[in-house]
Amino acid sequence: MNLLSSLLSSTTLFRHGLLHKSWTKLVLYVLPSIFSISLFAQKTTIQGQVLDGKSKEPLIGANIFLVDTYDGATSDADGKFKFETEESGQQVLLVKYLGYDSVSQQVSLNGGVFEFNPKLRESFNELKVVVISAGAFEASDERKVTVLKPLDIVTTASAGGDTYGALKTLPGAQVSSGDQEGLFVRGGSGTEAQTFIDGMLVRTPFTASTPDFAARGRFSPFLFKGTVFSTGGYSAQYGQGMSSALILDTQDLPDRSAGTLAVSCVGLGFGQQKVWKDKGRSVGGSVNYTNLGPYFALIKQTPDFTHKPQYLGTEGFFRQKTAKNGLLKFYGYYNAGRVGFNTMAPDSSIFGFDVKNANTYTNLSWTGFLNEQWKLNLGSSFSHDRNDIASSYNTGALGPDTFNIQNSLTQFRAVATRFFGRLTTLRFGGEYQFATDDFKNQLGFDSKLRDHYAATFAESDVYITTQLVARVGLRAEHSSLLGQARIAPRVSLAYKLGESSQVSFAWGHFYQKGDSLLRWQSQFAGAIPGFQKAAHYILNYQYIKDERTLRLEGFYKKYEDLVTTREVLANDGQGYAQGLELFFRDKKTLKGVDYWISYSWLDTKRQFQWYPVEAQPTFAANHVATLVAKKYFPGIRTSMGLAYNYATGRPYFNPKSDFLVDRTPDYHNLSVNASYLTTVRKAFAVFVIGVTNVLNQEQIFGYRYSPDGQMRTAITPAAKQFFFVGAFFSWGTDRRQEVLDNQN
Amino acid sequence: MKKTLSIFTLVLFAISLQAQTPNEKFVKAMEKALSGMDTLKTSEQWLAASNNFERIAQKEPKEWLPAYYVAFCQTMAFNMGQDKTKYELFAKRAEEFVDKADALNPDNSEIYVLKSMVSGLFIRINPMVNGQKYGPVAGIQLEKAKKLDPENPRAYMQEGATLLFTPAQWGGDKVKAKSTLETAAAKYETFKPASSIHPNWGKKSNEMFLEMANK
C-alpha cells in the first residue's frame, strides 16, 4: 500500500507539472519518502545477547528472527547476535533454541538500534525433574530416567526370556528361589508380590505350579512397553501385595504389520499382526506350542517325567484408536497343558504328581483424554484358572490323591487423572473384584470361597518445585469374605540434590488377604482371618549420570496380623524385615560393555503359617548378589551376555535341630548367552543360545525329610543346567508400498 | 526535461526493486542460505545453517525446500556432532522437518532420500532397539526414491554409502557399494537441478566414498 500511494503521489506530482518547477523540491521532499520504503528503506538494527535464564551462560546457536519475515540471525559463541531489518512498525521477535522454551516479544521498530537480550528457560525436560524412585525400578523406552530398558528383560542371561527371571537380578529379590515361582521380595513370600497388567490384578501370572520346581511367567515380555518393579512403598492405586507390585503396561498400536516365528529347543510359536495406520487399528494373534519332550530325551532330568511338560497357548489382540485421543485395547489369552512326574521320596517311596492346567485371561481397557486437564482409564478383566491334580503326596502310597482347584477373578477399574500444570497431578478411582476359589479333593473336602472386594483410592503428585515432589495417597479396601475394611495411607517424597542425584523416602501401609490358606478355614475353628498388614519405610539415594546409575536403598518393614495355621486359622503372626541394597549399572567405563551389580543384605524373621516361633523364613537368604554383563559386537552382529547370581544359604526345616536354624549351601549360578542378529531373506532373525549354571555347580534349595526324620533328599533343579537354542524371525507382511504409505 | 526523465527512471527503478515478486525474494533468500554450504564443517555451523532455513520455512510455510534443508542440516549436525546426548534432538528435528517437506510435496525422490538418511540416524542412536524398526524402512524409502526418479544421483550415493558402512554380516557389500557409487558418479555428471535452490549436493561426498570403496 505504501508503495502504491507513493507511486500515485509521484505520478500525480508529475502530471501537475510540479516537477518542472522545482525538481529540487522533489529531491528534498518526495524522493526521501519513496526511498524510505524502497531502496534505502529505514533500517533497524536488532542486537543483543541470548542467555540461559538460570545459569546466565550465553546460548550459542539460538535462532533470533522477526516472525513472518526472512530477517534474523544466529547467536555466536558469546551468545551475541546482530541483524538488520527493513521492517517497521509492530513486529514479533522470536527466539528459538533446541531444548529451551521459545521466547517471543512484541516490538515496535522505527529505525536505529533495538537492544534485545532474551533469557531462555530450559524446556520441560524429564531429566531435570525429580521423580519418586524409592522402591521402584522402571523399564521403559518412553521415559528417559529409567534403570532398565524393556530389551534388558529379554537379553539378561539368567532370565531365560522370563520377565520374572530378569527382575531377580535386581536388588531386593531373591535369586535362589528355583523351587517356587514368584518374586520373593525383602523377606516376603512369593504370594506377597502381585502382578498388574494395565492397572489390573493378575490372579495367576505363572504357569501351573508344581512342587519343588518354579513355574515361569505366563506373559511374553514383548507384550509390554513399560515395566515398573516396585520392591515396596508403591502407589495407592495398587493393593493386595504386602511386599511388591509388578506393574506392566501393554504395548500401544504397533508400528507395522508383521509376522513372527519362534523356533526353539522347547517349542514353536507363530504370530501375525496387521496394522491399519489410517484407521488407527491393529489386530493380531499368536499360537505357541511348548513341548519339553524332545529336550528331556536329550538332557537327563532328575525326576522321572510321566508327562513331559506340554502346553498349547493362543493369544489375540485388538487395538483401536478412538475419539478423545483414546486407545481401546483388548488382550485375550488361553493356555492349556499338562506335566507329570515321579520322584523318589526320602523314605524311598515314589512321590507322584500330575497336573493338568487350563488358564484364560482377558483384559479390556480404554485410555483417553476428556480434555487437556482430564485423563480417564477404564478397564475390565476376567481370568479363570483350573488345575486337575493327581498326586501321591499326602498318602505316601502310589494310589493318587486328586485335587480340583479352580479360581477366577472378574474385575472393573476406573481411574481419573487431573493435571495441574506440567507436573502436578491428582488421580482417583476405584476398583471392584469378584474372586472365586474352589477347592475339592477326593476325600470329600470341598471349599468354595467367594469374595467381593472393592477399593477406592486417591493420590496426588504435588510438585512443590521441580526439585521436590510429594506423593500423598490413601486407599480404602473392603472384602466381603473377610468382612473387613482397611484404610492404607501411602506417602513418598523425593528431593533432587543436584543435576544427577536425588534422595527419596517412602512410607505406607499395605494389606493383603490370606490367599489360598483361607481355603482351610472350614477345617479349623473360628472365623475367617482378616487382612494381613505390612508397613514399609524406605530411604533411597539415586545417582544417574553419563550412562552410570547408582542406587542405594535401606528399608524397614514390619509385618502384623500374618495368617497362622497352628490351632486355629488366625491373624496371630508377625515379623519384620530390614536391609540395605545396592545397584550399580555402568555402560561407560568399559567400551561397549554394559553391566550391573546388585547386592542385597536382608535381615528378616517372621512367625506365620505353621511356624511355631519367629524365624527366618525358608525363602530368605541373607546376602544376595548379582552381576549381569552384556556386550554387543557390531562387527559380528552378536550380543553376548553373562549373569552370575549368588546367594548365601536359605534356612530349611530339619526335624532334628532347632526350628529353621540350618542353612543350605550357598547358591551359585553363572549363565551365559549369545544372540546373533541377521536377516534371512526379508526377515529379521535373531539366533539365541544360552546355558545356565555353566560351572555345573550343585544348587540345593532345601531338603525333604522322611516322616521319622531319619532320611532326607535334597530339593534341586530338575537338571543342573538348562540349554537353550532358539531362533526368532520377524518380517513385515505388508507389500512394501503399503509399509511406505503407513509410515507417512 | 532530461533530468526529469532521469528522475522518473530512477523512481521506476526504485519501484521495480521494491516490487520484486515474493517468489524472487524467496529464491534470493534461499540462494543466500545455500551459499557456502559446501564449506560447513562443524555441527554448530550446520545448526546455524539450519536456523537460516528455518527462518525461511516459517515465512514460506507452503514451500517444501526450506523444510527439506532444515532436515538436511540437522542430519549433517548429527553426523558432525560429538555430543551423543544431542543425537536424539537432532534426529527428531530432522524427522519433523522431512515429514513437513513430504506433506507439502508428496512423492518426491529427494525427500525420500533424506527420509532414508533420517531413518539411518535413528538406527545409529540405538542399533539394538531401533534397528528392527528403522532398518527395513530405510531400505524401502531408498527404493521408493529411486523409483520416483531413477536419475537422482543422491539415491544411489546413499545406497552405496549404506552398503559401504554396513558390516558384511548385516548385508553390507564393498563390491556392490563400489558399483553403486560409480552409478551415482555417472548420474552426478548428467544431473541438472530443477532450479538454483533445488537439491544439488553430494558430488564431492560421493567421490570420497568411492575412494574409500576402492581401498
pLDDT, residue A473, reads: 96
Are the beta carbons of A39 and B14 separated by less than 8 Å? yes
Average pLDDT over residues A268-286: 91
Is the model more confident about A680 or about A385? A385
Which residue is closest to B166 within chain A, CA to CA? A635
Q: For residue B89, list chain A residues with Cβ-Cβ distance below 8 A.
A: 98-99
- From A514's Cα to the closest Cα of chain B, the distance in A is 42
C-alpha cell of residue B14: 526504485
Give every CB contact of residue B40 below 8 A, 6+ residues apart in sequence. Answer: B46, B49, B76
Q: For residue A99, list chain B residues with Cβ-Cβ distance below 8 A.
A: 89
In this structure, chain B runs to a length of: 215
pLDDT, residue B6, reads: 63
Q: Are the C-beta atoms of residues A664 and A701 closer than 8 Å to each other?
A: yes
Chain mean pLDDT for chain A: 86
Which residue is closest to A96 within chain B, CA to CA? B51
Give the pairing of strands A112-115 and A44-49: parallel
* pLDDT higher than 60, residue A356: yes
* pLDDT higher than 70, residue A744: no
- pTM (predicted TM-score): 0.76
- From B136's Cα to the closest Cα of chain A, the distance in A is 8
Q: Which of A38-52, A118-132, A259-273, A393-407 has the highest mean pLDDT?
A: A259-273
- From A736's Cα to the closest Cα of chain B, the distance in A is 7
pLDDT, residue A33, reads: 47
How far is it, in rounded angstroms, from Cα A466 to Cα A461? 12
Are the beta carbons of A67 and B48 separated by less than 8 Å? no
Is the model more confident about B61 or about A32? B61
How far is it, in rounded angstroms, from Cα A183 to Cα A300? 28
CATH 1.25.40 range(s) for chain B read: 40-149
Which residue is closest to A742 within chain B, CA to CA? B137
Q: For residue A733, list chain B residues with Cβ-Cβ distance below 8 A.
A: none
pLDDT, residue A386, reads: 95
pLDDT, residue A34, reads: 47
Q: Where are the beta strands (DSSP E) in A180-280?
A: 193-197, 200-202, 224-230, 244-250, 258-264, 267-276
- Of the listed ranges A76-80, A91-95, A136-140, B165-169, the least confidently predicted one is B165-169
| Interface check A225 vs B, CB under 8 A | no
C-alpha cell of residue B38: 559446501
Amino acid sitting at position A281: R
pLDDT digit string, tens, across residues A132-189? 888 888 877 666 667 777 777 777 888 877 889 889 999 999 998 878 888 999 999 9
pLDDT, residue A475, reads: 97
CB-based burial label for B179 (10 Å; 0-12, 13-18, 19+): middle
pLDDT, residue A210, reads: 81
* pLDDT higher than 90, residue B118: yes
In this structure, chain A runs to a length of: 744
Q: For residue A639, list chain B residues with Cβ-Cβ distance below 8 A.
A: 128
In chain B, residues 4-63 whose CB comes closer than 8 Å to chain A: 4, 7-8, 11, 14-15, 17-19, 25, 29, 44, 47-48, 51-52, 54-56, 58-59
* pLDDT higher than 50, residue B11: yes
Q: Please provide the DSSP assignment of A33-66 as one string.
A: HHHHHSTTPPPEEEEEE-EETTT--B-TT-EEEE
Give every CB contact of residue A417 below 8 A, 6+ residues apart in sequence. Answer: A374, A375, A376, A377, A425, A426, A427
Q: For residue B169, list chain A residues with Cβ-Cβ distance below 8 A.
A: 635-637, 678
pLDDT category of residue A394 using cuts at 50, 70 and 90: low
Q: Which CATH number fits domain B40-149: 2.30.42, 1.25.40, 1.10.287, 1.10.3470?
A: 1.25.40
Average pLDDT over residues A67-84: 92
Of A10, A20, A730, the CB nearest to B11: A10
pLDDT category of residue A277 using cuts at 50, 70 and 90: confident
Average pLDDT over residues A288-316: 92
Nearest to A393 by CA among A445, A438, A343: A343
Which residue is closest to B66 within chain A, CA to CA? A70
Are the beta carbons of B17 and A38 separated by less than 8 Å? yes
* pLDDT higher than 50, residue A35: no
| Interface check A24 vs B, CB under 8 A | no
Average pLDDT over residues A320-328: 91
In chain A, residues 552-591 whose CB comes closer than 8 Å to chain B: none
* % of chain B surpassing 70 pLDDT: 88
Amino acid sitting at position A302: T
- From A70's Cα to the closest Cα of chain B, the distance in A is 6
pLDDT digit string, tens, across residues A433-478? 999 999 988 878 888 899 999 999 999 999 988 889 999 999 999 9
Are the beta carbons of A10 and B47 separated by less than 8 Å? no
- Of the listed ranges A331-335, A403-407, A705-709, the least confidently predicted one is A705-709
Of A14, A61, A256, the CB nearest to B44: A61
| Interface check A637 vs B, CB under 8 A | yes
* pLDDT higher than 90, residue A385: yes
Beta bridge partners, A537, equal A507, A556
DSSP-H helix ranges across B37-86: 43-59, 64-80
How far is it, in rounded angstroms, from Cα A742 to Cα A459? 40
pLDDT digit string, tens, across residues A573-584? 999 999 999 999
| Interface check A656 vs B, CB under 8 A | no
- From B208's Cα to the closest Cα of chain A, the distance in A is 23
Amino acid sitting at position A575: G
Report how many Cβ contacts below 8 Å link chain A to chain B: 105
Q: Are the C-beta atoms of residues A138 and A609 closer than 8 Å to each other?
A: no
Are the beta carbons of A35 and B14 separated by less than 8 Å? yes
In chain B, residues 106-125 whose CB comes closer than 8 Å to chain A: 106
Q: Is B7 helix (H, G, I), strand (E, B) or coil?
A: helix
Q: Give the sign of the dihedral formed by CA B187, CA B188, CA B190, CA B193.
A: positive
pLDDT, residue B10, reads: 55
In order of their start, the domains of chain A are 2-120 (2.60.40.1120), 136-742 (2.40.170.20)
Chain mean pLDDT for chain B: 86
Of A68, A151, A682, the CB nearest to B128: A151
Which residue is closest to A66 within chain B, CA to CA? B55
Are the beta carbons of B55 and A19 separated by less than 8 Å? no
Are the beta carbons of A141 and B140 separated by less than 8 Å? no
pLDDT, residue A224, reads: 87
**Region of A552 on the Ramachandran plot (φ > 0 left; ψ -120 to 50 alpha; else beta):** beta
| Interface check A149 vs B, CB under 8 A | yes
- From A345's Cα to the closest Cα of chain B, the distance in A is 48
Of A74, A149, A639, the CB nearest to B51: A74
How far is it, in rounded angstroms, from Cα A218 to Cα A209? 12
* % of chain B surpassing 90 pLDDT: 59
> In this prediction, does ipTM exceed 0.95?
no
